[in-house]
Structure 1
Amino acid sequence: MTDNGARAVLVVEDDPVLGKALQRGLEDGGHRCTWMRNGRRGLEQALAQKFDAIVLDLMLPELGGLDLLRALRLEGIRTPVLILSALGSVEERVNGLNAGADDYLVKPFAFPELLARLSAITRRSFQTKAQQLIVGPLTLDLSTRRVSRDDCEIDLTPTEFSLLELLMRNAGQVLTRKMMCEHLWDSDWEGVTNVIEVHINRLRAKIDREFDTQLLQTVRGRGYVLRVPG
């Protein structure tokens, strides 16, 4: 999001009339809009490019909106999502929010309200980004120094917390033992690096041992990486 409030917005909407109207309205408001007409292409765009917000229909060809949303959240992508749908029952709205949506607007709608809701969810996201790191089911809160996985709180030592923070900030990227040592103790670390294995093993025991999916992975000969498999 730029200083003047302009946002990069992904619209996933199969109705050509509404999709074109949304694109025109967002661009007239100074935002950058990418419009996809089916769920599969929408998911590909959301995974390949960083957006400030996503406007998501539910009844989409090739991949439904809720399945798209769940796939994004499983990948650790926390882009704010506004569901825009003709499905407006309480149960349908609850299902959308429980799947990971940040807001839900029922068609037909007033365009100024959509813009206001987009502004609200992106503003909330911007305010919380500095406080929380989220990778798949793993959440690290910098303000409270709490770590949880699937809502189960995990007790970490200060060194383990710092190490996990580094891994989460660089999720998907292989980090060497030397990089970890320099982060934990000294920017010009020249000591032995095998001490990292001890801390990694302890951290892995706490964040992975009780769960089916292993997030902290060893890359032989290179180092370690935190990623959501698949």
Structure 2
Amino acid sequence: MRLLLIEDEAALREPLAKKLVEAGYRVDTASDGADGLYQACEYPFDLLIVDLGLPKLNGVELIRKVRAAGKSTPILVLTARSNWQDKVAGLEAGADDYLTKPFEYPELAARVMALLRRALKAQPTGLNLGAIQVDLARQQVSTSAGPVELTAFEYRLLEYLIQQRPNVVSKQALSDYLYPHDDDRDSNVIEVLIGRLRRKLDPDAQLGLIETLRGRGYRLNVDGV
């Protein structure tokens, strides 16, 4: 799961991001509302953690703009403000939950997990892709020959293709999903991962599960799913 933490206080942002990474999440960060809005609209995230008191663009306006852009990503608001009007403003703007500072990390972790689970329940957890079965809740993949062992990157790539079907997904979009936006990337890595997925899921090359559209990207080629 990929999270975006938008918090201007480095003393909170940096240790919180570290704890979330240690918990197994991929975490991108922003220190102001303008950068946070750009990342939230340009890159695929599973959850946003947004401080309300942000420079350049406050958290409430950021949330409104994210929702206006058609993004349904779950949003957890962080606020040091104690009056109920600020919390209501965040929720009315489109946030899903809020947490008042100061807070203990286990409480935030529980809120994050609850929002991610709620979002997951809104999607089918079991998919039958012809000869391939995917359990999104358990992150398990199997074929008629039995379970398929995928690396974390291979699974996340397959999961993203499933989420985007039947659309064509460019190499750039796959890179944005798999890697932090400021990492060095090599498009050959995506080709290698696609090749490994094909060999593991369709070793005899009979299903044509992942279609390559030259110059455009890849598409999950599954009828009736």
Give me the TM-score of the superposition, normalised by structure 2: 0.54
Summarize the alignment of residues 52-71 of structure 1 with structure 2, pairs less than 5 Å apart. Answer: 52-71=46-65
Distance in 2, Cα, partners of 1:121 & 1:95: 19
Q: Out of 35, 38, 52, which is 1:41 matched to?
A: 35
Could you report, residue by residue, the CA deviation over 1:150-199 in whole angstroms, capped at 9, with x for unpaired residues? Answer: xxxxxxxxxxxxxxxxxxx989xxxxxxxxxxxxxxxxxxxxxxxxxxxx
Q: Out of 103, 107, 121, which is 1:127 matched to?
A: 121
- Write the letter of the residue equivalent to 2:18: R
Q: Out of 25, 29, 35, which is 2:19 matched to?
A: 25
Instruction: Check if 1:110 corresponds to 2:135.
Output: no
Task: Name stretches of at least 5 consecutive residues in structure 2 with no aligned partner.
Answer: 125-164, 168-225
Q: Out of 53, 66, 69, which is 1:72 matched to?
A: 66
- Write the letter of the residue equivalent to 2:52: L
Q: Out of 89, 95, 101, which is 2:83 matched to?
A: 89
Task: Name stretches of at least 5 consecutive residues in structure 1 with no aligned partner.
Answer: 1-6, 131-168, 172-230
Shift of 1:88: 2.4
Could you report, residue by residue, the CA deviation over 1:27-65 in whole angstroms, capped at 9, with x for unpaired residues? Answer: 111111101001000011011111111110011111110
Distance in 2, Cα, partners of 1:109 & 1:129: 30
Distance in 2, Cα, partners of 1:42 & 1:170: 29
- Aligned equivalent of 1:3: none
Give me the TM-score of the superposition, normalised by structure 1: 0.53
- Write the letter of the residue equivalent to 2:35: R
Count of residue pairs the alignment pairs up = 129
Shift of 1:129: 4.1
Q: Which runs of 4+ in 1 moved over 2 A?
A: none
Distance 1:99 1:29, change over 3 A: same
Distance in 1, Cα, partners of 2:37 & 2:27: 15
Tell me, what secondary structure is at the counterpart of 1:35? strand
Tell me, what secondary structure is at the counterpart of 2:122? helix
Give the % identical residues: 41
Larger Rg: 1
CA RMSD of aligned residues (A): 2.0
Distance in 1, Cα, partners of 2:94 & 2:54: 17
- Aligned equivalent of 1:134: none
- Write the letter of the residue equivalent to 2:107: E
Distance in 2, Cα, partners of 1:89 & 1:121: 23
